[in-house]
Amino acid sequence: MNKVEWTKRAVKQLRKLPQTAQSQLHAAGESLTGWPKVEGTKKLSDRDDWRLRHGNFRIFFLVLPTGDITIIKITEVKKRDERTYG
């Protein structure tokens, strides 16, 4: 069983986006309950986190296994540009 948690920072970034993008990205983030069988995810090199690609946006998250439950902690939501991974 997996549980998705959003950090305050990620929620704040999500709320700055247009309403249609917000609902789509929220649904994409919640789809991480199916981890590790989620398409569009990739482990980032030189970082501890993963990313979920959704159109022109990226959802960055950490995978925290804790006993029976794996917690997926969404840390950032960003629009894809040259500064996204910096």
Domain that holds residue 74: 2-79
pLDDT for res 47: 87
Q: Per-residue pLDDT for 12 more than 60?
A: yes
Whether the Cβ atoms of residue 4 and residue 33 lie closer than 8 Å to each other: yes
CATH number at residue 26: 3.30.2310.20
Q: How confident is the model at residue 28 (pLDDT cuts 50, 70, 90)?
A: very high
Do the domain assignments include residue 29? yes
How far apart are alpha carbons 35 and 13 in whole angstroms? 23
Do the domain assignments include residue 86? no
Encode pLDDT of 37-82 as tens digits. Answer: 989 999 999 889 999 999 899 999 999 988 889 999 999 999 887 7
pLDDT for res 85: 62
Total number of domains in the chain = 1
Predicted TM-score (pTM) of this structure: 0.89
